[in-house]
Amino acid sequence: MTSITVLRHVSFEDLGAFAPVLERRGATLDICDIGLDDPGAVDPLGPDLLIVLGGPISVYEEERYPFLVEETSLLARRIEANRPTLGICLGAQLIAKAAGAKVYPSGLSEIGFAPITLTDAGRGSCLAPFAQEPTTLHWHADTFHLPDGATLLASTEACTNQAFMLGPNIIGFQFHPEAGGPGFERWLVGHTVELGAAGIDVRKLRKDAARLGPELVRKAERVVTAWLDGLRP
């Protein structure tokens, strides 16, 4: 794998602990910063891997954020061609929508560090590191139906569809397996309005990130390494 295109919606929701693994593999990263760069200019089948990151908007807000139409179209082409694609939070929701599934408000905000529960398929997937250490970062208020043909990998009590795969090459994480390590303070600043509205204690989030950070980074590296190793031509 040599070329990776990353769709980034806000600067602080970046590749996080996934980045060092990709760099060690010699990947060439092309960051498409939404708002500066045009996602419609990305060749759907060009990059060896497409990664779509999170952001504080919803996939059904196309009238407010027209670039979502281009992103969905791009992902639909990737899915049709079975090209390696990874989505996190908003990115996972975009993959679900591009695959024909409904994305909608869940009725609650799931924010903070909490465990996921793996399905049998999840325990045999790249998410296996979460079997013994299930805690991860959650930050969303939307959810989605599983696309046709998708395999459910993980759930929480509040959100059934936390991770899914479409074959070995396409994966979506509703939670944030890449996040919680160095740089987490940027999340607390960038999402301050949402945190205040939800009544979330910023000080507790900061303490949790400091306590869990090393574990989260280890799991992130193992997750992305296992997924990359399982890709198929």
Q: What are the structural domains, with CATH classification, of the chain?
A: 3-229 (3.40.50.880)
Q: How far is the C-alpha of 222 from the C-alpha of 129, rounded, in Å?
A: 7
Distance CA(82)–CA(26), nearest Å, equals 23
- In the numeric block, the tokens 């795969």 are attached to 165
β pairing state of 49-52 and 3-8: parallel
Other Cβ atoms within 10 Å of 24 Cβ, number:
10
Mean pLDDT in runs of 10 for the chain (233 residues)?
Answer: 93 97 94 96 97 98 97 98 98 98 95 98 98 97 97 96 97 97 96 95 97 97 97 87
Q: Residue 215 — φ and ψ, nearest 5°?
A: -65, -40
Query: How many angstroms separate the CA atoms of 125 and 120, rounded?
Result: 9
Q: What is the pTM of this model?
A: 0.97
**With b meaning 16 or more CB within 10 Å and e meaning fewer, what string describes 194-220?**
ebeeeebeeeebeebbeebbeebbebb
Please write down the HEC assignment for all residues of 4-30: EEEEECCCCCCCHHHHHHHHHCCCEEE
The confidence score (pLDDT) of residue 36 equals: 97
What was the pLDDT predicted at 233? Answer: 78
**Nearest-angstrom CA–CA distance, 161 and 82:** 21
The pLDDT value given to residue 1: 61
Per-residue model confidence (pLDDT) at position 29: 95
| Phi and psi torsions of 20, nearest 5° | -60, -35
